[in-house]
Amino acid sequence: MAGSTLTSQPAPIASRLATRMSRLGTETAFEVLARAQALEARGRSIIHLEIGEPDFATPEAVVEAGVRALRDGHTHYTPSPGIAPLREAVAAEMHRTRGLRVSPEQVVVTPGAKPILFFALLALVDHGDEVICPDPGFPIYESMIRYAGGAVVPVTLPESNAFRLDIAGLRRAVTPRTKMIILNSPANPTGGVLEPEDLARIAEIAVEHDLMVFADEIYSRLLYEGEHHSIAVLPGMAERTILLDGFSKTYAMTGWRLGYGVMPLDLVPHISRLMTNSNSCTAAFTQLAGLEAITGDQAPVEAMRAEFLRRRDVIVAGLNALPGVRCALPKGAFYAFPNITATGLGARDLATRLLDEAGVATLAGSSFGAGGEGYLRLSYANSVENIQEALARMGRFLTELQGGR
Ligand code: PLP
């Protein structure tokens, strides 16, 4: 065509990005993993305590159910909110594990649990709405709140309060713009657990101010003492709680991508529509594997929990013996969150040096929010031998650091 030129340079993609992309964060765990793997590719030995996924194989019966489903021809679309038997099994599981009575129609199945968070925020948060979330907390909360157009209002989880939410701080954080409170118990990254009295006081605040509550209970089966309690069962909460749980952590199924939300019935069509628009549905064979996981033999879950407990005790005792390190006993999940302020290094500095100089990949607590400064997150989803080797490497590094002062 006259006047057209084939030599003009296309504008760089960065200049074409929608402004909303500048509000989207990420998970440092994946960045640190990539750096650690790059070091390994150069021949360095690295112990991975950065990534939050069980190192166990998916239970055999679950794998079999998935393979059988594929062979039986479950290779097509399913209804957007999930297949009926799985939604029924999740509803029954809610009653069995939490005493929560819900109908299968209140369950939406998603590829991994993360979409439940994303969809709930997209469906409910308008520009300028405030969402209260734990600090330190799972970084995807902040990222997704901001992407949806909301404002993040952090509330601290003080170490002095066993990393339980500061309820007085929560009360102060509520404003007329508050839309939702995000809770996570057992918690990533601290391993802290909300006690029944915390849940009662949070529920009181939610009802008083007519707020939604997003209860991320993905670590509900990884609890080392007592029973799991859900805020959803408290008076006035069923109609305002979106409960997230899934298969990734409980059944070592991170790569299958299977999770779910349990929510008020009138929210379901909206979350389902988001599913229809994004994923259409969750993979059929994955859902059938999940059905086996949730209804079948639970012995593998108990075996994994027992092994995590053994590792927790090894890592916490080992951390407390390191110079400049103090570590509280986590009550759930598979993370230790040691206080490292007495090492004299900031969290990011220490995490970087441990990776580069000691060959131990950890995460800086500050990548989970300002409240995580002065801490590291170590995932103990690794063998006792590797944990012991990591502790030995950290010990040598920290002893040299102290000697060099
Ligand atoms: N919520 C928390 C607190 C998590 O730590 C994770 C995974 O790391 C998720 C949700 C998401 O789990 P999934 O892999 O099922 O999407």
Ligand 1 atom closest to the Cα of residue 259 is 15
Q: How far does the centroid of ligand 1 lie from the alpha carbon of residue 182, in Å?
A: 14
- Cα-based distances in Å from 180 to 121, 124, 163, 206, 236: 9, 9, 20, 8, 15
Full-model pTM: 0.96
Ligand 1 atom closest to the Cα of residue 138 is 3
Q: How far does the centroid of ligand 1 lie from the alpha carbon of residue 379, in Å?
A: 14
Residue nearest to atom 12 of ligand 1 (CA): 113
CATH class entry, domain 62-295: alpha beta
Q: What is the domain partition of the chain in residue ranges? A: 18-57+300-403, 62-295
Ligand 1 atom closest to the Cα of residue 257 is 15
Q: Is the peptide bond before 115 cis (omega within 30 degrees of 0)?
A: no
- Cα-based distances in Å from 390 to 45, 328, 397: 11, 18, 11
Q: How confident is the model at residue 404 (pLDDT cuts 50, 70, 90)?
A: confident
Q: How far does the centroid of ligand 1 lie from the alpha carbon of residue 324, in Å?
A: 31
Ligand 1 atom closest to the Cα of residue 247 is 15
Q: How confident is the model at residue 30 (pLDDT cuts 50, 70, 90)?
A: confident
pLDDT digits (tens, 9 = 90+) for 370-387: 999 999 999 999 999 999
What architecture is the 18-57+300-403 domain classified under in CATH? Alpha-Beta Complex (3.90)
pLDDT digits (tens, 9 = 90+) for 256-303: 999 999 999 999 999 999 999 999 999 999 999 999 999 999 999 999
Q: Give Rg (Cα) of the chain.
A: 22
CA–CA separation, 357 and 66 (whole Å): 42
Residue nearest to atom 7 of ligand 1 (CA): 52
Q: How far does the centroid of ligand 1 lie from the alpha carbon of residue 219, in Å?
A: 9
Using a 6 Å CB cutoff, which residues line ligand 1? 52, 112-114, 138, 184, 188, 216, 218, 246, 248, 254, 259
pLDDT digits (tens, 9 = 90+) for 173-208: 999 999 999 999 999 999 999 999 999 999 999 999
pLDDT at 53: 87
Ligand 1 atom closest to the Cα of residue 333 is 5
DSSP 268: H
Q: Which residues contact 168 (CB under 8 A, 6 or more apart)?
A: none
Q: How far does the centroid of ligand 1 lie from the alpha carbon of residue 111, in Å?
A: 11
Strands (DSSP E) found in 136-202: 151-156, 178-184
Pocket probe for ligand 1: among 27, 32, 114, the residue whose CB has the most ligand atoms within 8 Å is 114
Q: How far does the centroid of ligand 1 lie from the alpha carbon of residue 8, in Å?
A: 44
